[in-house]
Amino acid sequence: MKKAPRAGASLLPVFKSLANSGTRHFAFLLLSLLAAACSGTTERTADDAAAVTDGSWADRVPTIDQVGAAMMPDTIAPVTAPFDMPQFKKPTFPDLTISITERGARKDRITTTEIQATIDEVHQKGGGTARVPAGIWKTGRISLKSNVNLHLEEGAELHFSGEIKDYRPAVFTRNEGIEVMSLGACIYANGQENIAVTGKGKLVGPPKDSELRNRVMEVDVIEKVVPHDKPVSERVYEGYNDEFIFLPMFVSPINCKDVFIEGITLENTPFWNIVPVYCDGVIIRGVTVNSVGIPRGDGIDIESSRNVLIEYCTLSCGDDCFTMKAGRAEDGMRVNKPTENVVVRFCLAREGHGGITTGSETAGMIRNLYVHDCVFDDTGVGIRFKTRRPRGGGGENLHYERIRMNLRGDAFHWDMLGSRTYVGELADRMPAREINRLTPSYKNIFARDIIVEQAAHFVKIKGIPETPMTNLLIENAQVNAKGLIIARDAKDITFRNIEVQTQDSLIEILDGRNILFENVRFKVPGNEVVTKIEGDLSDDIRFKDSMPQQPKGWQSPTWNKE
């Protein structure tokens, strides 16, 4: 989208004044949206340049008390992004409201039938709200229908069964990027339009010692278990005769249009929490997730979906927090649906493997992602990129702005090879393989206005020799980390306007080329940067206007292959 820097810049002092008054969060919201509107993909305005000089860009980076579910406003503010996005608004539903108690729901027994009957009736009468009143209600899988808002009142809790029979018959779904007929999701929908799950109520997953959790498939990775050349209708896994199952997700609409999820809390998920699959037009806002301690307990996974807004969510997870996925390996390539046009803003990631992650399921491509004004607090990796040699696709046109990170792991981390446990010898870096249809890549990645309060490494890149990570810009950053930079199989990288303080002075580069450090101030032991440069392809590594002016042992600010 076009930016309007001159008009916006004149309002910056007004918003800063508001920020110092009692309207702090409102002012911050306006200031952040203005900053988004004034920023482009590769260019900065004169006002932005001034902000770099005086360091005022850091004032735009949110603090923990300005983001997350507790700060969600009633309205959805306009969306600006470095690519075209639709404008989002809350859905509307007819006035009809039916409570599940009107259809016989009782708290002393499992009440799936009554909840589903309420949803079906509201749908059949043209739409409206299926209301879940305060109290604990036991249920199995329920399916949303078009024009129905499943509304959980404050104090309402849906507790999902741990019995496999309560999720049968098998339904069409996607599990870890592979299409199957399986248990689906605790709250499921297929081919519906204008659906919602709202309210201040809570979803509680199956008990931890239940049959459902104990029968999970642990034979091998899913692509080695589900035959990709077998018709999906024959890939049936529903747990008869003591067979394993694929765990249901918590909330997962598939093939749906105009999905709205707001305000709810999710705890103790069996698997990934909120997972739109093949959806168009998704709004997820004000959601709170707690899945800490649950393996593969991802928070929000956007899978092969488009036109998505995620805002004011707070996630504490047993795996990655905010995640973009697009199918796995041969089956993902067959489907070939990207995740694209996604904005994540004003969100809080707490415990989790990654604050914002792309992959490792990348077959259909992940493109046009804009993450801004977020805080990752006590998270593992901050900004995480994953794929594997046989996964296909990759990621491109990925933007990150105004992010604050307090991390256990690395601030920026690429893991494009994985481990032998999952992909065998393809996890071995060398020899370089011939590029084929399943060779993934990451390229065109832009990060600006980043504050890293604590991290293991500032940047760690483990690329693929035949498809190195390509075209990375990190601009305007204040970094405090234990280690500096490791870059393996990467090219066309610019670090600009950065102050980085680390306990280690070593930069490691293996087959890295065209790497520029421009106006980078290194605060390292001895005030000397040390480099370890290896690989026949390493070349053209430059220091420009930086302190120190060049690494220890260099004859000039430029290192070239001899």
The domains found in the chain, sorted by start residue, are 5-60 (no CATH), 96-243+251-264 (2.160.20.10)
The answer, yes or no, to whether residue 515 has pLDDT greater than 50, is yes
Indicate the pLDDT class of residue 6, thresholds 50, 70 and 90: very low
**Cα–Cα nearest to 315, from 274, 343, 282:** 274
Phi and psi torsions of 27, nearest 5°: -65, -40
Cα–Cα distance, 496 to 483 (Å, whole number): 18
Phi and psi torsions of 163, nearest 5°: -95, 130
In b/e form, how buried is each residue of 465-490, taking b as 16+ CB within 10 angstroms?
bebbbbbbbbbbbbbbbebbbbbbbb
Cα–Cα distance, 366 to 301 (Å, whole number): 12
Residue 9 is predicted with a pLDDT of 38
Q: Are strands 249-254 and 348-349 parallel, antiparallel or unpaired?
A: unpaired
The answer, yes or no, to whether residue 49 has pLDDT greater than 80, is no
The answer, yes or no, to whether residue 421 has pLDDT greater than 70, is yes
- Cα separations in angstroms, 206 against 138, 250, 252: 10, 10, 16
Give the containing element (helix H, strand E) for 124: helix 112-124
The answer, yes or no, to whether residue 211 has pLDDT greater than 80, is yes
Cα–Cα distance, 372 to 311 (Å, whole number): 10
Residues whose CB falls within 8 Å of the CB of residue 562, separated by 6 or more in sequence, listed in order: none
| Cα dihedral sign, 12-74-451-411 | negative
Whether the Cβ atoms of residue 532 and residue 512 lie closer than 8 Å to each other: no
Cα–Cα distance, 328 to 20 (Å, whole number): 48
Indicate the pLDDT class of residue 27, thresholds 50, 70 and 90: low
- Cα separations in angstroms, 384 against 333, 534, 551: 22, 24, 28
Cα–Cα distance, 475 to 446 (Å, whole number): 8
Cα–Cα distance, 502 to 348 (Å, whole number): 25
Whether the Cβ atoms of residue 308 and residue 302 lie closer than 8 Å to each other: yes
Using a cut of 0.85, tell me whether the model's pTM lies above it. yes
Average pLDDT over residues 296-310: 98
Cα–Cα distance, 369 to 343 (Å, whole number): 6
In the chain, what is the straight-line distance between the N-terminal and C-terminal CA atoms, in Å? 44
Q: Are strands 506-523 and 469-481 parallel, antiparallel or unpaired?
A: unpaired
The answer, yes or no, to whether residue 34 has pLDDT greater than 90, is no
For residue 469, what are the β-bridge partners? Answer: 490
Cα–Cα distance, 445 to 488 (Å, whole number): 16
Indicate the pLDDT class of residue 375, thresholds 50, 70 and 90: very high
Residue with structure tokens 């201040």?
Answer: 200
Q: For residue 306, how many C-alpha atoms fall within 13 Å in the half-sphere facing its CB?
A: 12
**Cα–Cα nearest to 38, from 2, 13, 14, 66:** 2
Average pLDDT over residues 453-460: 98
What are the residue ranges of helices labelled H in 245-336? 329-335
Q: Give the mean pLDDT of the chain.
A: 92
Q: For residue 212, how many C-alpha atoms fall within 13 Å in the half-sphere facing its CB?
A: 27
Cα–Cα distance, 454 to 371 (Å, whole number): 20
Cα–Cα distance, 255 to 276 (Å, whole number): 8
- Burial group, residue 207, by CB count within 10 angstroms (0-12, 13-18, 19+): middle
Cα–Cα distance, 460 to 485 (Å, whole number): 6
CB atoms within 10 A of CB 134: 13
Where is average pLDDT lowest: 9-18, 40-49, 205-214, 462-471?
Answer: 9-18
CA 190 to chain centroid: 23
Average pLDDT over residues 401-414: 98
Q: For residue 268, how many C-alpha atoms fall within 13 Å in the half-sphere facing its CB?
A: 17
Cα–Cα distance, 136 to 203 (Å, whole number): 10
The answer, yes or no, to whether residue 159 has pLDDT greater than 70, is yes
Helix or strand or coil: residue 560?
coil
The answer, yes or no, to whether residue 5 has pLDDT greater than 90, is no
Residue 364 is predicted with a pLDDT of 98
Residue 41 is predicted with a pLDDT of 45
> Please, what's the largest Cα pairwise distance for the chain?
82
Residue 55 is predicted with a pLDDT of 76
CA 362 to chain centroid: 13
